[in-house]
Amino acid sequence: MLEKFFKLKENNTNIGTEVTAGLTTFFAMSYIIFVNPQILSLTGMPTQAVFLATVLSTAIGTLILALYANVPYAQAPGMGLNAFFTYTVVFALGFSWQEALFMVFLTGVVGILITVTSIRKKIIHAIPESLQHAIGGGIGVFIAYIGLKNAQLLEFTSEGQDIIAINNEPYTAGSEVSGTINTVVTGGGIIPDMGSLTNPYALLAILGLITMVVLMIAKVKGAILIGIVVTTIVGIPMGITDLSGLTNPANTFGSAFNELGTTFGAAFGSQGLGSLLADPSRYALILITVFAFTLTDVFDTIGTFIGTGRKAGIFSLEDEKAMDKGRGLNTKMEKALLADTVATAAGAVLGTSPVTTFVESAAGIGAGGRTGLTSLTTASMFLLTAFFAPVMSIVPGAATAPALILVGILMMSAFAEIDWNNLEEAVPAFFASIFMGFTYSISYGIAAGFLFYIITKAAKGKVSVVHPVLWATTGLFILNFVVMGLL
């Protein structure tokens, strides 16, 4: 039955290889069940609810890939997208997490629409390959930077005269500040420095990072997950890992399920859709935010499929050509592209940031995975983790921060595909990738890359090679900046 459904012989594989590949993918990306709740809970979302939403949305997206597209990939709430959700949409733009979830739902709906039409096909061909690699590597820079900060390995000092606002209120140097300080905006003079190496938290994070690096170099399967477990255990005698979560009645599958009621459907409640509709002045910003979510998700998924699928023969050039000529969702790539959009919409309903195809799927593909049986195995393993909510609750940030750094390193390998000696490729790639980290925004990096791609082509008299979709997208980004400047 499995042979016939997944076409194993046709894809030169077998059940044993596919199951092993699925387990490999699971261990390579299972850190997301620890890291995603850590990041999204900063917005005020219940940690246990996010944990369960992460598991369920991962299973939904991955099962669609398995049973509908028959490809060996896995999906989960995307790294970078969850950071954009938290640090940009909620913290910087001031939306509530409920409002942000509704925008994620809209992102899924938009994704479905552009996938079932010809729009997504046009986007695939509009983005230069060098920029696709730059975006992937830039997200790696962004994620690694967040990891270094979360590990308390970086400190920043700003002089009083450079501080512009505190708690979104104008600030003058020397003025007193009453109450709790939540946010500080500074216009310059920030001096980065190494965090204190006498800080037990930072030391534990360094130990976790070294452990993961050693395991990965030794090619140990599940190196990141093992590193998280080891670091969590070592953190017990150091007083950083809090074991009270294991006996806390609030940390059980039942309590996680109950907490899920807080986030489930919250996107459509009075604090989500209702609040967004009540403020017309934010409509333009809402559209721009949905656009940024969609743009990032589209490029992340497309880059993963093309980058890994071509090399392994999962998505052949013939498959891509068939996608261009055919109508409807007939090819494996078209079906796979639909999966993450449906999963994103479902994830928003459950209570998590956009779901995307994980680049760690390459680990399972490297282990021989070629069909949806690999994905079915991975999805099954994630569903099993739903019953380990108490364990998730005790994992400290010092254990997950190194995972962010390591994932960043893996993603930065995309830079190797860029011709840095050719300024026409190097300049747009630089701005696309570096701006992501320096501006703390994936969408700003993409905008900078697109803009400088057009500038470099114009300087060389090659404006005609710029795809109309790229012109339109860049125009929307510029409109984004104009509107935000006026708000």
Give the integer Cα–Cα distance in Å for 423 and 416.
15
What count of residues does the chain have?
A: 487
Q: How confident is the model at residue 222, as a pLDDT?
A: 67
What pLDDT score does 252 carry? 67
* 165 falls within a domain: no
Question: Strand, coil or helix: what is 70?
Answer: coil
SS3 call for 154: strand
In the predicted structure, residue 103 carries a pLDDT above the cut 90:
yes
* pLDDT for the residue numbered 1: 75
Is 191 strand, coil or helix? strand
Count of domains in the chain?
1
Q: What whole-number distance in Å separates Cα of residue 376 and Cα of residue 60?
A: 10
* Backbone phi and psi for residue 156, each to the nearest 5 degrees, phi listed first: -130, 135
| Domain span at 213 | 2-153+195-486
pLDDT at 327: 59
Kindly state the DSSP code that residue 371 receives in the 8-state scheme. S
Q: What is the average pLDDT across 220-239?
A: 84
Q: Average pLDDT, stretch 428-432?
A: 92
Residue 185 within a domain = no
Q: What is the residue type of 304? A: T
Residue 362 lies in a domain: yes
Cβ density class 286-317: b for 16+ within 10 Å, e for less:
bbbbbbbbbbbbbbbbbbbbbbbbeeeebbee
- Which pLDDT score, from 0 to 100, does residue 58 have? 95
Considering the domain boundaries, does residue 190 fall inside one?
Answer: no
Q: Which pair of structure tokens corresponds to residue 255?
A: 């309590």
Per-residue pLDDT band for 299 (boundaries 50, 70, 90) equals low
Which tens digit of pLDDT belongs to each residue from 10-30?
888 899 889 888 887 887 787
CB-based burial, 253-270: b 16+ in 10 Å, e otherwise: eebbeebbeebbbbbeee
483 has a pLDDT exceeding 70: no
What number is the average pLDDT over the span 200-225? 88
* Listed residue (191, 171, 195, 193) closest to 181, CA to CA: 171
Which pLDDT score is estimated for 333? 80
Single-letter amino acid, residue 207: L
**Cα–Cα distance measured from residue 225 to residue 279, given in angstroms and rounded to the nearest whole number:** 43
Q: What is the pLDDT of residue 316?
A: 62
Q: What is the pLDDT of residues 281-294, one digit of tens each?
A: 888 788 878 877 88
Q: Is residue 174 part of a domain?
A: no
- Rounded Cα gap, residues 202 and 200, in angstroms: 5
**176 within domain boundaries:** no
In a domain, 77, yes or no: yes
Residue 11 belongs to a domain: yes
Q: What is the pLDDT of residue 294?
A: 83
- Tell me what the mean pLDDT of segment 262-278 comes to: 93
Q: What are phi and psi of 400, to 5 degrees?
A: -90, -25
Q: What is the mean pLDDT of the chain?
A: 83
The pTM of the full predicted model, rounded to 2 decimals, is 0.70
Could you read off the pLDDT of 29-83 as tens digits, one per residue? 877 888 899 889 999 999 889 999 999 999 999 999 999 989 999 999 987 788 8
Give the C-alpha separation, 432 to 134, whole Å: 6
Res 436 pLDDT > 60: yes
Confidence of residue 247 (pLDDT cuts 50, 70, 90): low
- 454-474 per-residue burial string, b: 16 or more CB within 10 A, e: under 16: bebbeeeeeeeebeeebeebb
Q: E strands, 289-366, where?
A: 355-357
